[in-house]
Amino acid sequence: MDIADRVALRDAPVRPADIVPLDRALRLVLQGGRETRSYRVRAGDTLWTIAGRTGMRVPNLQELNPGLSPRNLAIGEVLKLSRTVPLINVSTVYTQTQRQELPCPVVRKKDDRLPLGLTRVLQAGRAGLAEVTEQVICRNGQVVGRRELTRKVLQAPREQVVAVGTWQLLASRSGSGGRLGWPVVGAVTSPFGARWGGFHPGIDIAAGYGTPVDAAAPGRVVRAGWYGGYGNCVDIDHGDGVVTRYGHLSRIAVEEGEQVIKGQLVGYVGSTGFATGPHLHFEVRINGNPVNPESFL
């Protein structure tokens, strides 16, 4: 404990009436000081808003400013304010020990086998725990500063490792980033993923019967014919294990083995196979596994 002001102790004769019990003396030390301020009345002020703004009570305001009443406040009038402050300022310093959570760091690793734009958590992170001892500095009971003295790590945080895909799905000689082109222009009426208790391995794109369907990227036609629920179906192999599939076509415009360029006509929208109406079912497969085409369009 430290007293911020200069306080001298000395023996002096006092009148017996000035001697006070300890608790009153303590109250005097903590609240015996008085700080006088003033306040200039602004438009729209009331005694209550002034009291609220200055941390005072209306009766105290009236006591300090005799004759003040809610009805005779004048704009620009100066009111006396005061508040109690400690007679002397007491600083205390103590040490305290607390447990503190340590956030887990995140490490990003580039992965050239993961498509660009996708991430995958390789190792889940976990927060750590430390025991921290610090010095706390208070002034009149209010914390004004802290200083770390020691830190003991009870449990080190485990880093979160995230793979960040850098693989360009399709190598592009034009440098356009290897994105896929939309095979037809239309709204996605059924997205990739869980559907009707099953799994929808592609997206359905709304388009009228007979709308031309274009190759999403250059490649080689590896399927051009009827394929079960897909009806009339075209698969194009783009290399690097990437295949696009176009289903429910009313008519096919390419042949198996044919080399196509991006945007080339491969067929026409229909509703052959398992389809309730004309639309294009479009799939992207990487090494045989369907992925969400919307990540690459």
CB 248 to Zn ion: min, Å:
8
Instruction: Pick between residue 68 and residue 280 the one whose CB is nearest to Zn ion.
Output: 280
Site stretch for Zn ion (CB under 5 A), options 88-96, 166-174, 197-205, 230-238: 197-205
Q: Taking the complex as a whole, how short is the minimal distance between the CB of residue 228 and Zn ion, in angstroms?
A: 13
CA distance 243 to 290: 9
Among 165, 281, 285, 291, binds Zn ion (CB under 5 A): 281
Please choose, from the candidates 115, 225, 102, 99, the residue with its C-alpha nearest in 3D space to the C-alpha of residue 170.
115
- The reply on whether position 283 binds Zn ion by CB under 5 A is no
In 3D space, the residue among 106, 251, 114, 105 whose CA is nearest the CA of residue 169 turns out to be: 114
Best CA proximity match to 141, nearest among 82, 94, 84:
94
CB of 204 to Zn ion, least distance (A): 4
The answer to whether the beta carbons of residues 127 and 102 sit under 8 Å apart is yes
Per CB under 5 A, the list member of 134, 204, 235, 283 interacting with Zn ion is 204
* Token couple for 190: 């059924």
CB 177 within 8 A of CB 140: no
Query: What does the radius of gyration of the chain's CA atoms come to, in whole angstroms?
Result: 40
Taking contact as CB under 5 A, which single stretch among the options 10-18, 64-72, 74-82, 201-209 is the one that binds Zn ion? 201-209
Q: What is the nearest approach in angstroms of Zn ion to the Cβ of residue 190?
A: 6
Residue 201 vs 219, nearer CB to Zn ion: 201
Nearest residue to the partner Zn ion, using Cβ: 281
Nearest distance, CB of residue 170 and Zn ion, angstroms: 22
Backbone angles phi, psi at 174, to 5 degrees: -80, -10
Residue ranges that bind Zn ion, judged by CB under 5 A: 204, 281
